[in-house]
Chains A and B, each alone.
Chain A
């Protein structure tokens, strides 16, 4: 027999790269932002450079982009920045991984048992509203100036967006899917495994995406409060010596770290939850 109603099945799409290769002009015509995004960068950096040069603004106030570039290259070639970069990277990533494991485990337990949820809910709300980085000085007292205090702060800050999204994701299962499982007399575990858990994954990834950025924030704040190494510590050192170009260079490294980690999450997300678009999901 013939399939009569596949006319409205989604058509195969060309990849953007393939599209560009076939007709570069038309490709940019359809997506003007591809050209406009770098253009904005060029205009802003150019204007900045010109203003600093024309009005002879001193470097300890606002350094020119070229000065920042020189500081960045010098710092990277002397390996000074890289050493601090890896410290902050390590603190953020380890903190994030701890937060992810704890957030998913706690969220799952809370969503499964109503008693646990009702009991812990007021405390969760209280902790949620507390600015977690305010605990940083306390953690430095307890854990010292080494890496562990920074890892714990990063984990603490990253924990809540994951927890909240896991709970919401596990509880936002559409009634139709639950009816289907009930009609098959599925056990609680089967319903969790085959429906609730995969259903929660897009939410979990939304939480992880927020958390990875938060973990960098936590690590930096921890380093501000008390540390010997790391990019946050480097910013404080440059602050003392009024090396403003150096500070901007470190900020660029921090931005690169944040963007890099975010992209890693995006790549994993696209492979794991291939069926869902991230924009169908609410944030924390």
Chain B
């Protein structure tokens, strides 16, 4: 295997609360993510998965341990990373195309070249014809597609996604999962995807990282050996059921979920 895109080793994160007590959010997390791999991270609320993603994105500093992106220690946000948040966080005063162009403007890349790329990405996420609309004219699913195109526009090596479809209804969410799988296959990006949905984690991931509640640690890593592209019929298959049961058992008995 080629050098990992992300190499996390013995990562610890401790917060100091206002009251002065220490909260251990992440404990001894070690994890490699390979080039082009789709890794999903699943765990109950408060297990530190968002903290982990924010450290990978350079938005938070680790307390100890090392985190490397493409062989370099992460010291802050990197243009080699694209982030998709729980909310689409579009700027309401910018058109769809201009929202996708935001990283290009901020990173001072060549606008003419990247405008073409932005249009191609909007086509890739199925929003051709919506370039000049404003966010308030779009549905929730469409907004998250714009956010996805924005995260990809500056051609990052790594895509970090923090429960991006959590706010969508079940049908839209399944459709978005199919879309994301297709976009991932077409773009060849490395993806780290956080979710608290077990089926979503198993459906999307090459590997599913299962995390425990606070302090968050990796309980197990499940390799999902199902063919690609996966389709919605597969959700009802026995093979898929084996994986989701396995993950649920790791989370379930101690009452971590629900």
List chain A residues, Cβ under 8 A from B93: 198, 201, 273, 275
Q: How many A-B residue pairs have CB under 8 A?
A: 85
List chain B residues, Cβ under 8 A from A201: 93
Instruction: Count chain A CB atoms within 10 A of each CB in B57, B78, B91, B168 and give the residue with the most.
Output: B91
List chain A residues, Cβ under 8 A from B78: 185
Distance of A54 from chain B, by nearest CB (Å):
55
A9 at the interface (CB under 8 A from B): yes
A186 at the interface (CB under 8 A from B): yes
Interface of B is mostly: loop
The CA-CA distance from A10 to B133 in the complex, in Å, is 12
Distance of B108 from chain A, by nearest CB (Å):
9
A125 at the interface (CB under 8 A from B): no
Distance of A174 from chain B, by nearest CB (Å):
8
> Once the chains bind, are B91 and A185 in contact (CB under 8 Å)?
no
The CA-CA distance from A273 to B142 in the complex, in Å, is 22
A50 at the interface (CB under 8 A from B): no
Distance of B114 from chain A, by nearest CB (Å):
13
A18 at the interface (CB under 8 A from B): no
> Once the chains bind, are A2 and B77 in contact (CB under 8 Å)?
no
List chain A residues, Cβ under 8 A from B140: 5, 8
The CA-CA distance from A177 to B88 in the complex, in Å, is 10
List chain A residues, Cβ under 8 A from B59: 179, 182-183
The CA-CA distance from A5 to B76 in the complex, in Å, is 36
List chain A residues, Cβ under 8 A from B136: 10, 275
> Once the chains bind, are B106 and A5 in contact (CB under 8 Å)?
no
- B101-136 interface with A by 8 A CB criterion: 102-103, 105-107, 126-127, 134-136
List chain A residues, Cβ under 8 A from B106: 181, 184-186, 190, 194
A253 at the interface (CB under 8 A from B): no
A1 at the interface (CB under 8 A from B): yes
The CA-CA distance from A190 to B106 in the complex, in Å, is 7
> Once the chains bind, are B126 and A195 in contact (CB under 8 Å)?
no
B58 at the interface (CB under 8 A from A): yes
B3 at the interface (CB under 8 A from A): no
List chain A residues, Cβ under 8 A from B89: 174, 176-177, 179-180
Query: Which positions in B face A, CB cutoff 8 Å?
Result: 57-59, 76-79, 81, 83, 85, 87, 89, 91-93, 102-103, 105-107, 126-127, 134-142, 168, 171-172, 175-176, 179
Pairs across A and B, CB under 8 Å, 23 listed: A3-B126, A5-B142, A5-B176, A8-B139, A10-B137, A174-B89, A177-B91, A180-B85, A180-B102, A183-B58, A183-B83, A184-B79, A184-B102, A185-B78, A186-B106, A190-B105, A190-B106, A194-B91, A194-B106, A201-B93, A273-B93, A275-B92, A275-B136
